[in-house]
Amino acid sequence: MTRNQKLLEFVEQMAAMCRPDRIYWCDGTEEEYQLMMRLMVQAGTAIWMDHSKRPNSIYVRSDPLDVARVEDRTFICSVRREDAGPTNNWADPMDMKRTLSSLFDGSMRGRTMFVIPYSMGPTGSHIAKIGVELTDSPYVVANMHIMTRVGNKVLEVLGEEGDFVRGLHSVGAPLEKSAPDAPWPCNAQHKYICHFPDTREIWSFGSGYGGNALLGKKCHALRIASVQARDEGWMAEHMLILKLTNPEGRVHYLTGAFPSACGKTNLAMLVPTIPGWKVETIGDDIAWMKFGTDGRLRAINPEAGFFGVAPGTSMKTNLNAILAASHSSIFTNCALTPEGDVWWEGMTEEEPPEVMDWLRRPWYPGCGRTAAHPNARFTTPAAQCPVIAPEWEDPDGVPVDAILFGGRRGQVIPLVTEAFDWQHGTFIGSITSSETTAAAAGKVGQLRRDPMAMLPFCGYHMGDYFSHWLKIGEMTDPSLLPRIYYVNWFRRDSQGHFLWPGYAENCRVLKWIFERVDGKAQAIDTPIGRLPTPESLDLSGLDISAAALQELLTVDAGEMRTEVPLIKEHYTTFGDRLPKEFNEQVKLLEERLAKAV
């Protein structure tokens, strides 16, 4: 328990509204985690997986109406509408609290309210933040055990006076006396994921799935934390963090922001093909960065686990993720094999003859539907990753040497571009774009802008977010700032074939970036930034034609000129809150392109 009066009052007030049958304070122990697993199995929410194939792991199927984030039901409830910006759904905080209070009234009848004190980041780190989530879902408790640091050790750091992000979650399905429970309780008709940035609160109702319910993830670690970062002078970003070591043992740390379907998790756990080079993982999804006493940005991974998309993950695409999930994991909405293991599309080269799909139906090759839901997930402790870096929980964070932005572009954008400086790098991050795939909503190949891969996750006006990036660049000696790069693994030739092999071969781009940071690799100036010379990119053992390399490392000024109107149109979204520096960057780009042959 705790003597923190703010926390005790929060629990008392929310319990009075939600009216649970009992209140359980989570202590974060392994015994508690096992209790949650047993509760889910007994309730029919989960089944134990075959111990010989997937030890200490469970398999869960959600309700078909509760399978993913619900962006149209996600709100930023800032006091002033303009602070939410044009890319977020806004609701008046007073009005939304009234709506939610009526929904939460009695929502936990027949259930237990679990009090989850959690730390985003290593417990006690000066970069970490504490939150408390109240929930009526054992599934949430178990997942939060994996994804965050939970329990008494967090309460000790919080102390009697410490403050915290307040999170309230309910599946919205009260249990009446003698009424049976659903295997996956939820409220499909009334879903709300609401953020109150001014008061550092999150209220989530109706969904029990993923980021809708695990409030430490996108809700706290990005939407609320981005506001905290703005107010306190640090950065909360949708970025991987990796450690890159050369054969001589020299180390650089890189972060990277990529929209969905661009290989972010694969890059974080990459297995290099160049002898002697090594990649280790700090984090695969979120980075919090603060300036250290040395004036450098230092990053922590605020999460303690991986909440990975299962389909497409295989020994070929991400060996280390597969190995990490070999035990002590939670699998949601995958397919189940007759032997008691999981399967999903892309997991194996050959499809199994028959599995039970995520909707409890027999599935077999050629039946015309997928076996796993496209958003099927595995929740796995980061410590189980074979290439987790020894310093991944360093409370002081790791010094960031380079920041990568990237998207899926079939044409125009070169393999890798180095920004001229921090302001130019912020500019190219702000125009990050990706072509939609078959798995995304909308027309295939449609170009979508996702600045810094933060568009769905920034808790305030994106124009102000851009300004915050520029301010960060003024807070230290420019020579101490990370270099910024834009990468594109997805360039295609005129026949539609990929010009670059991608996956593990992306280590060749990382090597060039590493050597640029060291002042060794050569580059040439182009209108959009600095590109590798063909000789500076290590292609040893790689079968790639001179023509393909030429296309990958060429800036076509004519094609780039067609991008400029699209950038200007993109910027109109942010109105008068767009930093004036960005309009100047567009003008400079136009001038450089005009001079190009």
- From first CA to last CA, the distance across the chain in angstroms is 70
Report DSSP letters for 291-352, one per residue: E-TTSSEEEE---SEEEEE-TT--TTT-HHHHHHTTSS-EEES-EE-TTS-EE-TTSSSS--
When comparing pLDDT for 31 and 1, which is higher?
31
What angle, 0 to 180 degrees and rounded to 10, lies between the N-to-C axes of helices 462-472 and 225-232? Answer: 40
φ, ψ of residue 81 to 5 degrees: the values are -60, -40
Determine what percent of the chain is predicted with pLDDT higher than 90. Answer: 95
CA distances from 442 to 369, 447, 452 (A): 20, 10, 21
Q: What is the pLDDT of residue 124?
A: 96
pLDDT tens-digit map of 511-566: 999 999 999 999 999 999 999 999 999 999 999 999 999 999 999 999 999 999 99
Confidence of residue 597 (pLDDT cuts 50, 70, 90): low
Average pLDDT over residues 579-592: 98
Q: Give the side-chain half-sphere CA count within 13 A for 53.
A: 13
Q: Which of 262, 385, 458, 507 is catalytic?
A: 262
Q: Report CA 237 to chain centroid distance, whole Å.
A: 9
Task: Output the pLDDT for position 445.
Answer: 63
Residue 506: DSSP 8-state: G
- What domains can you pick out in the chain, each with its CATH number? 5-47+72-233 (3.40.449.10), 305-384 (2.170.8.10), 401-595 (3.90.228.20)
SS3 277: coil
Residues pairing with 127 in the sheet: none
**Is 385 one of the catalytic residues?**
no
And the tokens for 428? Answer: 């190219």
Distance of CA 52 to the CA centre of its chain: 31
Q: With b meaning 16 or more CB within 10 Å and e meaning fewer, what string describes 145-176?
A: bbbbbbbeebbeebeeeeebbbbbbbbbbbbe
Q: What whole-number distance in Å separates Cα of residue 74 and Cα of residue 87?
A: 11
Which residue do the tokens 């960060």 mark? 472
Strand bridging mode 402-406 / 251-257: parallel
Banded model confidence at residue 369, pLDDT cuts 50, 70, 90:
very high
Query: Please, which pLDDT band fits residue 403 given cuts at 50, 70 and 90?
Result: very high
Q: What percentage of the chain's residues is helix, strand, coil (to nearest 5)?
A: 30, 20, 45
DSSP-assigned states of every residue in 538-573: --TT----HHHHHHHT---HHHHHHHHHHHHHHHHT
Nearest to 155 by CA among 6, 268, 334: 6
CA distance 238 to 218: 9
